[in-house]
Each structure stands twice: as structure tokens, then as C-alpha cells.
Amino acid sequence: MANNKQPLGIELVKKGIVTQENIENALEFQKTHPDEKIGDILYEQNATSNVKGLLDSIGEVLNEKTIMLTMYDIQINTLDYISSDLMKQYLAVPFDIVNGTIKVCFASSNDEATIDSVRMLMLNKGLEMEEYITFKPIIQKIIRQLTTGSLNINDEANVTTLVDNIIRNAMEMRASDIHIEPMEDCIRIRYRIDGKMVEIVKLDKEKQTQVINRLKALSNMHQEKQEAQDGRITAYPDYNIRSSSQPNIYGEKFVLRLLKKNNTIKSIFELGYPNDEKLFRNAFNRRNSITIIAAPTGEGKTTTLYSAISYLNKPDVNITTIEDPVEIRIPGLNQVEIDNVKTTFAGALRTVLRQDPNIILLGEIRDKETAEIAIQASQTGHYVLSTIHTIDAIETITRLRKIGISNYDLSSCIASTISQRLVRKLCPHCKKERLFNEKEKNFIKSIGEKYNVDFNIDNAVTYDPVGCEECNNTGFYDRIAVFETLIFTDEIKELIANDASTYDIRKVAFQQGYKPLIVEGIKRVIDGTTSMDELDDRLVIYQ
């Protein structure tokens, strides 16, 4: 690695990446750790929040390409090109191949002899090598994930261990779903992490039958049937795992949904609901009404239901939940789990009505029969909370009309509909501050004028994702919901009873203070919770 410039520390201070004090602290540490390089020490000591800038500056000084390497970047089966022992010895990770050139990431502290050894190894496999560097602790972490312990999903382990490692790796990486997908020449493993699909590894095609049979055995599915099946995996004490198989042209695809048991229930305000006690009381009425959480699949509707029900849970209130499955066990609640064979939502709801409940949590309104019984429950003095799949709070009215609910029933019993979307939260350890650009300012001002909101961004700052070890170098960690709430006022109920269109209902709702998702989303950008690009990705704000 050629270096024709001044010593690294001087270059970094000149660029404003770190201070002279940071360099002095690193040099002091280096006295007792002579094998450690300045760049790695600065990284370990959190000398700067601009971690990527630090790496890029090191790369510029060393005349090397850089990458904040993560498991997401690895697009090949690494162990096909280098053994685990050599990976550890050379601190080198092959991660992609483009047009006969293999990309290999090294620790920035590696020497020329090590790089030449790996280059020769790749040439022997008929591949040119393109080298990249990253921090030594990052590459060591990646190598551990690829070659050791529960994260080893690339090795030649037996199929039982292989499947177990795929599942445990997903748990370690906070995945909500695992996709095991037969392709033409391989099996692709992808995880959904914070709402994003991430390719983890590709397995050899010859493992397909064994992997699928193992998943069927774990899920208590019929081994012989090659048709769509649903099952559950109970081998992991801390998780409920729902499994689904679906034949495709190359085999049977499996999706595993990971549901952590006994997860701590956050307050609804921690989830992102506006901290407005009056709005909450109006939205979550407690008798003779229904509150419906509306959003597409995977947007956190059930979590919001749990938080609301936890808030309403008191010793003098009888609460019963009907769920598929019971995801979190809450002390003081009567929780019913359905299986759609012996027990259905509608059947369980009929029975629950004879159990003297005050509040009923109904996991989902799926059909006319379930909706009608929920309406009946609300009309006889109960408070019902449920979910439905639709795009926003107002379109819930259209959805219920389409499944056959009358305008009279809609207007008489629904207290509120609440829609939500999950946005990724910027990692607090590495997010980078900047001023809003003119495009963003103009957009925010136009939304403020349209919905009568003063966002006051003249001197405000926003943040961009950077990436660090805490967030697996994605720049994001965890998610938060943005909400919109439609309160069914007397005027809106009258419009519904008179079969008004959702267009007319929306106009009146705006006049009464209804604010769409984008308003709350912009507030989350201004307070530094998420970024404009993430909001655009989730809500498609720029047209």
C-alpha cells in the first residue's frame, strides 16, 4: 500500500476528521499496543462520529479503495474462494465478483506481502483481484460471522446445524423474516432487517432437498406434499416462529416469521404516537365503539394494538384478546389463540362475547362475518380494537364497505381509524448533521402550507446515515412508526351514513384538523429521528 503523503495522523488533522488531541491519545495507546495501527485505534476510541470519512481519508492517504464492509455487501459464498484459516491469517474477505474480477476487502493495516499472497490465490482460481480496505475490527467481526459459532452458515456443516445457524444468525441480526428461496442454480438466503430485504448468502443447489426437508420437519409439515403449507417452529424457547412454504418453479420457498416471546411492551408514545393525551383519549375510546389500526402487512399494527391494550389494562377492566398467534403474553389479560381449524376469529369472538369482557382485542378483521360480530360487540357496550389491511385511515371506510358493512354500522360504531408506517431510525452513534437543501426546504414548506402546519425550518438541521459497528454499518438502527388519526366526529359519521365518497370525507377531515402521515413523518426528520431519503422511500414524498 503506497503512501507518498505526510504521516497519517497529520493528514487526518489537516482534513478536520480528528483533532490533534485524538492523535495524541491514539499515539499514547500505541506505546503499549505497538502492533495496532493509528487508524484502527482512532476507530476503536470513537475519535470521530464521521467514521466513513475517517476510513475514506485513510484510503486516500494509502491510495486504496475503501468500504465499510457488512454482511449485506457479501454477494458470493466466500469460502468457495478462500479457506476460513486463510481468512483469519490474512484478514481478507472476498465479497463480490464482477466481470471476472473478485473484490477482496483487507484490514487497512495489512502489508503488501499479505495482499500479494491473496492476489496469487485468486489468480490460481482464474480471477483478477480488486482490493479494498476497512478497519481491522470490522473485518475481524465479519470473519467471525462467516466462520465461527452460531453465525456460520457457509461451512460444510450437516443440514441440521446449517438450518439452525441460518435461524440463529437471523436472530443475532435482528431479522423479522427469513426467506429461503430456491433459485435456478442455488438457494438464496435473505433476511428482512428493519423492513429491508438483505441477501445474506447463496447455498449450493444440491443442499436444497435436505434444507427443505429439515424445515418441514421443524415446522411439523407434511414431508411428501409439495404444496403451500403453514406451520410453526417451537424449537427456540425465546421465539415463536411461523413458517410458510410455497412451491415455485425451482422448488419450495420457505418464509419464517420470527416473533420474539415476552418482548417488552413499549408505551404507545415510545412507538411514535403523538404525545397528546387528548388525542389518545379520543382515538382510543373505551365503550360502545371500535378503533381500527390500518396499514399494509409488516407495518407494526399488532405492536400498536399491544401498546394500546397495555395502556388500557387495569385491574377493574376485563380484557380478552383473540390472536393468531399470541405474540406477547401480558399479565392480567385473557388471551385466546386461534388455529383456523378448531377455532376461527369469528367463532372465538362469539364465545368471548359470553365471557363478560369490557375490551376485546381482535387480531385482524379479515372478512364480513368477523367485522359484523365486532360491530355487534361494540353496539352492545364493548370496546373493540382490531386491525385491517389498507393504505390509510380514511380508506378504511372504503375497505369495510367493500367487504359488505353497511354505512349505518360504520357510522354508528367506529370511534377512530389510525394508519401508520414504520421508518428506520438513524443510528444515534454515527448520524451526520447537515443543513436542509433547497429542494427539501421547498417541499417541507409546501406540505406546511397545504396542511396548515408551521414546521419552522429556517435554522433547522437534518441528519444523514453514515454507518458504524453499532448499526452493522447501515446508518440505521431499529424503527419507529409515524401515525395519522381520523376521529369519527358527528359530521364525518353523517357523511358516512349518507354514503359520501372518501374524497368528500377527506376534505371535511382536513378542515377538522386531520393530518396525513407525511406531516408526522416530516416532524420525525426535523427532530433527527429519521432522514428525508428514508421518508421518501417509505412514503414516496417526492413526485
Task: Please state the domain extents for the chain.
Answer: 8-63, 71-146, 148-260, 277-539
Cα dist from 517 to 266, 295, 418, whole Å: 21, 11, 10
- pLDDT(156) > 60: no
Distance CA 207, CA 202 (A): 11
The per-residue pLDDT for range 488-533, each reduced to its tens digit, is: 999 999 999 999 999 999 999 999 999 999 999 999 999 999 999 9
DSSP string, 137-177: HHHHHHHHHHHSGGG--SS---HHHHHHHHHHHHHHTTEEE
pLDDT band with cut points at 50, 70 and 90 for residue 172: confident
Lowest mean pLDDT among 45-54, 141-150, 406-415: 141-150
Output b/e per residue, 465-500; b: 16+ Cβ within 10 A.
bbbbbebbbbbbbebbbbbbbbbbeeebbebbeeeb
263 pLDDT tier (thresholds 50, 70, 90): low
* Residue 484 CA: distances (Å) to CA of 81, 273, 294, 471, 519: 51, 9, 10, 28, 9
- Average pLDDT on 91-120 reads 91
How far is residue 62's CA from residue 110's CA, in Å, rounded to a whole number? 11
Q: Range with the lowest mean pLDDT among 57-66, 70-79, 294-303?
A: 70-79
pLDDT number for residue 541: 64
- What is the rounded CA–CA span in Å between residue 465 and residue 473? 9
Spelled out in words, what is the top-level CATH class assigned to the domain 148-260?
A: alpha beta
Q: Give the CA-trace dihedral at 264, 270, 275, 280, to 10 degrees.
A: -40
Q: Which own/partner contact pairs does 199-202 have at CB distance under 8 Å and 24+ positions apart?
A: 199/72, 199/75, 200/71, 200/74, 200/153, 200/169, 201/74, 201/77, 201/153, 201/154, 202/76, 202/77
* pLDDT in the model for residue 341: 62
Residues near 521 by beta carbon (within 8 Å), at least 6 away in sequence: 421, 423, 482, 530, 535, 538, 539, 541
Secondary structure of 16-51 in HEC code, one letter for each residue: CCCCHHHHHHHHHHHHHCCCCCHHHHHHHCCCCCCH
- Span 77-100, average pLDDT: 90
Coil, strand, or helix at residue 205? helix
What is the pLDDT at residue 141? 83
Q: Work out the average pLDDT over 150-173.
A: 74
Q: Identify the band that residue 2 occupies on the pLDDT scale cut at 50, 70 and 90.
A: very low
Average pLDDT, the chain: 88
Lowest pLDDT segment from 140-154, 370-384, 432-446, 502-516: 140-154
Say yes or no to pLDDT of 277 above 70.
yes
Q: How many CB atoms lie within 10 A of CB 238?
A: 10
Q: Which pLDDT value is given to residue 257?
A: 93
Residue 406: pLDDT above 90? yes
Q: How confident is the model at residue 112 (pLDDT cuts 50, 70, 90)?
A: confident
Helices 438-451, 517-526: axis angle to 10 degrees equals: 140
pLDDT of residue 1 exceeding 60: no
pLDDT for position 542: 55
Return the number of other C-beta atoms located less than 10 Å from residue 439's C-beta: 10
Q: Which amino acid is at 446?
A: S
Cα dihedral sign for 131, 134, 136, 141? negative
CATH assignment of 71-146? 3.30.300.160
DSSP string, 489-525: -HHHHHHHHTT--HHHHHHHHHHTT---HHHHHHHHH
User: What percentage of the chain reaches a pLDDT higher than 90?
Assistant: 46
How confident is residue 134, by pLDDT bands cut at 50, 70 and 90? Answer: very high
The reported pTM is 0.69
CA distance 384 to 361: 6
| pLDDT recorded at residue 530 | 96
Of the pLDDT bands very low, low, confident and very high (cuts 50, 70, 90), residue 244 is: very high
pLDDT at position 81 is 92
pLDDT of 340 strictly over 70: no
Residue 543's pLDDT is 45
pLDDT at position 309 over 50: yes
Homologous superfamily (CATH) of 277-539 is P-loop containing nucleotide triphosphate hydrolases (3.40.50.300)
Give the model's pLDDT for residue 153: 52
149 — pLDDT class (breaks 50, 70, 90): very low
User: How far, CA to CA in Å, does 463 sit from each of 154, 165, 426, 437, 527?
Assistant: 36, 36, 8, 11, 9
Report, as an integer, the average pLDDT of 407-414: 93
The SS3 assignment for 179 reads: strand
Mean pLDDT to the nearest integer, 343-350: 82
The whole-number pLDDT of residue 250 equals 94
What is the pLDDT averaged over residues 212-221?
Answer: 94
DSSP per-residue codes, 321-377: EEESS--S--TT-EEEE--SSS--HHHHHHHHGGG--SEEEES---SHHHHHHHHHH
Question: Which band of pLDDT confidence, cut at 50, 70 and 90, is reported for residue 151?
Answer: very low
- All three cell numbers of 435, joined, read 443543513
